[in-house]
């Protein structure tokens, strides 16, 4: 896991994550407790390219032509690459929560690496490699800010940012459907299916941490979004996916009204 966390080349990181597949489900508490303390979030391995720029400096990406399609796929690949790092970082940094926690987030990292490979394969067919285009600079900010608080990390990374990803899926699907790009649609359908489970894992761990500390789930969640000045869920929410991931209707109604 440490090798994957530190890898700075995307293909090396994915290979190191794939190397965890045969063993991660048999990880026990005694093994995971032998992990050293995770280094600072700032040291996580990432490639020199793509060049990361503020989101306002990125061009609008719509799948209307092959350049737009490649740009949109590149943006998704960047999200998936960061998602590999986010899952590895959660598994290592908060390993004191036990082997079940570590297995859950290594499992997510394995799926994120698969998503990255699915998306980059579609990009390559359009002549673009990961790193060729500029990318969103802000995806790692919440990880750094929540490095000492697993309750906030679970709330703001899987339960907020990955859930916002569920909301973004329907229009992206419609865009690729509109241009008849079936291979990209197939890749995205695998991603959408898995992402519901990633949000569900974040929801389950957040709920269990709230229960341990006698905290209200919905109020604590909204309080953390405000405290960290994180982006609110943006309507229209993908209610079916969010309900499948563990949100309840009452909390969704409050989030829609924010």
Q: Least Å distance between CB 85 and Fe ion?
A: 11
Take residue 166 and report the two structure tokens written for it. 């569920």
Residue 195: CB minimum distance to Fe ion, A: 5
CB of 80 to Fe ion, least distance (A): 5
The Cα–Cα gap between 156 and 231 comes to 9
Residue 67 or 136: which CB sits closer to Fe ion? 136
- Angstrom distances, CA of residue 220 to CA of 150, 198, 201, 239, 249: 13, 20, 17, 20, 17
Binding site for Fe ion (CB under 5 A): 80, 83, 112, 115, 162, 195, 198
We find the least distance from the C-beta atom of residue 198 to Fe ion, in angstroms, to be 4
Nearer to Fe ion by C-beta: 127 or 171?
Answer: 171
Q: Is the CB of 189 or the CB of 216 nearer to Fe ion?
A: 189
Residue that has been written with the tokens 């419609």 in this structure: 174
State whether the Cα torsion 252-253-254-256 is positive or negative: positive
Identity of the residue, 34 or 230, whose beta carbon is nearer to Fe ion in the bound complex: 230
Comparison of 16 and 90: residue with beta carbon closer to Fe ion: 90
Q: Kindly tell me which of 90 and 255 has the beta carbon lying closer to Fe ion.
A: 90
Q: Which residue is nearest to Fe ion (CB)?
A: 198
Closest distance of CB 255 from Fe ion, Å? 19
For residue 115, the minimal CB distance to Fe ion (Å) is 4
The whole-angstrom separation of Cα 86 and Cα 38 is 13
Contact between 88 and 1 under an 8 Å Cβ cutoff? The reply is yes
CA gap 136, 59 in Å, rounded = 11
- Which residue's CB is nearer to Fe ion, number 67 or number 169? 169
User: Residue 197 CB, nearest distance to Fe ion (Å)?
Assistant: 8
């Amino acid at each position: 896991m440490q090798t994957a966390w530190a890898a700075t080349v995307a293909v090396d990181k994915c290979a190191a994550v794939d190397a965890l597949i045969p063993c991660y489900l048999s990880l026990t508490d005694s093994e995971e407790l032998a992990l050293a303390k995770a280094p600072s979030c700032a040291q996580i391995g990432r490639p020199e390219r793509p060049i990361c720029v503020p989101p306002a400096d990125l061009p609008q990406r719509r799948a209307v032509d092959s350049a737009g399609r490649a740009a949109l796929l590149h943006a998704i690949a960047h999200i998936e690459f960061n998602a590999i790092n986010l899952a590895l970082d959660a598994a290592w940094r908060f390993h004191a929560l036990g082997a079940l926690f570590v297995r859950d987030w290594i499992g997510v990292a394995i799926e994120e690496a698969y998503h990255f490979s699915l998306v980059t394969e579609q990009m390559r067919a359009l002549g673009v490699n990961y790193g060729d285009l500029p990318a969103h600079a802000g995806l790692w900010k919440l990880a750094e800010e929540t490095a000492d608080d697993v309750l906030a990390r679970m709330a703001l990374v899987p339960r907020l940012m990955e859930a916002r990803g569920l909301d973004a899926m329907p229009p992206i699907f419609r865009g690729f459907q509109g241009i008849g790009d079936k291979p990209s649609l197939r890749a995205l359908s695998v991603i959408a299916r898995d992402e519901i489970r990633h949000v569900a894992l974040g929801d389950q761990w957040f709920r269990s941490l709230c229960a341990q500390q006698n905290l209200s789930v919905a109020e604590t969640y909204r309080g953390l979004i405000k405290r960290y000045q994180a982006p609110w869920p943006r309507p229209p929410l993908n209610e079916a996916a969010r309900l499948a991931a563990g949100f309840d209707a009452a909390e969704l109604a409050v989030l829609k009204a924010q």
